[in-house]
Amino acid sequence: MKIYNTFTNNTRYNQTKTNVIPRYNTPDATHLPKDTVSFKASKIINLPESILSKCKTTIKKILPSGANNNVRPKDLMDLPEKQIIEICQNALKKQIPLGRGQEATVYKIEEFPREYCIRENRRIATNYNNLKLNYKLDKFDKANFVIAKLGEGLTLLKYISGIPLKIMRNSDTVSGIKVKESMQELIANNFPEESFIKVLDQIESNRANGIVFDRKGENLLVDPMIQEITAIDFSPKFNDIEYNPIAYIYHALDVDGTPFAPKVLGKLMNAYAERLKTCDLKDLNLDVLDKNFYYRGFMDDAFNKFKDRELLEKCRSMLFDDLLEAKKTMSESEFNDRVDYFKFEIENLLIDPLEMPREEVY
Ligand SMILES: Nc1ncnc2c1ncn2[C@@H]1O[C@H](COP(=O)(O)OP(=O)(O)O)[C@@H](O)[C@H]1O
Ligand SMILES: [Mg+2]
């Protein structure tokens, strides 16, 4: 193969002159207390007293009361119980839906939209006038982000940001589907390994505690801004016979049959492998782990549309037969090197396969 020299000898670009940047004497603010709004600071730039007093009044108007004492805005749970209940009742009256599952609808709390939301079980009729905060939570409540129970079938939840990527052909619009596809592409190309480790860890540690993720697509939320993938629905009733966290996440992200499938699978496998470095064997749910990536044609099989089945089987075996076996026998440092080699291979096979055969590159 011929390699072309792309450098030029034209030095014109290096001769562009820039103006000298003038140096200003910046005021010394080190004596000011940190994280406070100080009107004295404005004296540094010598504002006339009339403008200064106008500024003070405007700032007082726009900041919430207490802000000039450097107090952060109150959290819902810092409020008196009566007020918390009132806010929840208002949300239940307004019924602004954030999402709807088979059993429940989740509503927005307008005053705290990024912190909390309310889940109502539609099958249970609750009297909204008779709500009480009950903090007695079991392990399933905790896994499902419940902060408090409000009444039968009503719970106050920690708000989880993101949208499910499962494409609903009947209800999603054409542009809605485009958004989901773009997010799948983002996950494949831009999400860091930590995003995958976090969600694997969430599903695995809950499973070790006897709590199974209800692996439907609606139950996995993806936030492209903070690059987080969060499982939100762990059900005591859901008891899948085939437990495989990689297949669960892959399935819920709805990437099978898309061009992003191999990359997403590769990233999940590498995250699983990386997690093996620090995870104890007993926390890996090996007694219930189903080491298959199924493509039998059943509706729920995660890999029905995966194009290269030979490749899929090869990678599956590298992880669940070889690497897991190595975890049982190797020393820690030997195993860590083994994981790094595995990740390198998966990178080449699934994540970033070379377009051209190797001979042509060299
Ligand atoms: N903690 C949460 N934060 C934000 N949205 C949520 C939260 N929990 C649930 N949702 C939204 O509400 C929908 C239904 O909630 P879910 O608890 O899964 O109900 P169901 O048990 O009926 O499936 C979810 O698919 C999701 O869109
Ligand atoms: Mg659900």
* Residue pLDDT, tens place only, 179-231: 999 999 999 999 999 999 999 999 999 999 999 999 999 999 999 999 999 99
Assess whether 172 and 283 both reside in one domain: yes
Assess whether 114 and 179 both reside in one domain: no
| Among candidate residues 158, 190, 222, the one where a domain is terminated | 158
Assess whether 140 and 267 both reside in one domain: no
Q: Is 145 in the pocket of ligand 1 (CB under 6 A)?
A: yes
* Residue pLDDT, tens place only, 320-344: 999 999 999 999 999 999 999 999 9
Look over the chain and give the mean of its residue pLDDT values, rounded to a whole number: 86
Q: Is residue 231 part of a domain?
A: yes
Q: Is 102 in the pocket of ligand 1 (CB under 6 A)?
A: yes
Q: Is residue 210 part of a domain?
A: yes
Q: Is residue 192 part of a domain?
A: yes
Domain count, the chain: 2
Mean pLDDT along residues 12-36: 49
Q: Is residue 61 part of a domain?
A: no
Assess whether 181 and 310 both reside in one domain: yes
Long-range contacts for 274-279 (Cβ within 8 Å, ≥24 apart)?
Answer: 274/193, 274/197, 274/339, 274/343, 275/197, 275/200, 275/201, 275/204, 276/323, 276/324, 276/327, 276/335, 276/339, 277/335, 277/336, 277/339, 279/204
Assess whether 142 and 167 both reside in one domain: no
Assess whether 334 and 185 both reside in one domain: yes
| Among candidate residues 102, 136, 158, the one where a domain is terminated | 158
Q: Is residue 12 part of a domain?
A: no
Assess whether 193 and 261 both reside in one domain: yes
Beta bridge partners of 151: 154
Assess whether 247 and 175 both reside in one domain: yes
Q: Is residue 100 part of a domain?
A: yes
Cα 128 to chain centroid distance, Å, stands at: 32
Residue 188 neighbours by CB under 8 Å, 6+ apart: 255, 260, 263, 264, 267
Say what the pLDDT of residue 4 is.
40
Assess whether 182 and 281 both reside in one domain: yes
Q: Is residue 200 part of a domain?
A: yes
Query: How much of the chain, in percent, has pLDDT values that exceed 70?
Result: 77
* Boundaries of domain holding 260: 163-361
216 CA closest ligand 1 atom index: 23
User: Looking at per-residue confidence, does 42 or 259 come out higher?
Assistant: 259
- pLDDT value at 160 more than 50: yes
Beta bridge partners of 223: 228
Assess whether 127 and 168 both reside in one domain: no
User: For a substitution probing ligand 1, which of 221, 222, 226 has the most ligand atoms within 8 Å of its CB?
Assistant: 221
219 CA closest ligand 1 atom index: 25
Q: Is residue 237 part of a domain?
A: yes
Residue 163's pLDDT band, with cuts at 50, 70 and 90, is very high
Nearest ligand to the C-alpha of residue 232? 1
* Residue pLDDT, tens place only, 27-66: 565 555 444 444 444 444 455 666 656 655 655 555 555 4
Say what the pLDDT of residue 126 is.
83
Phi, psi of 237 (to 5 degrees): -80, -30
d(CA 280, CA 282): 5
Assess whether 98 and 178 both reside in one domain: no
Assess whether 210 and 305 both reside in one domain: yes
Ligand 2 geometric centre to CA of 101 (Å):
5
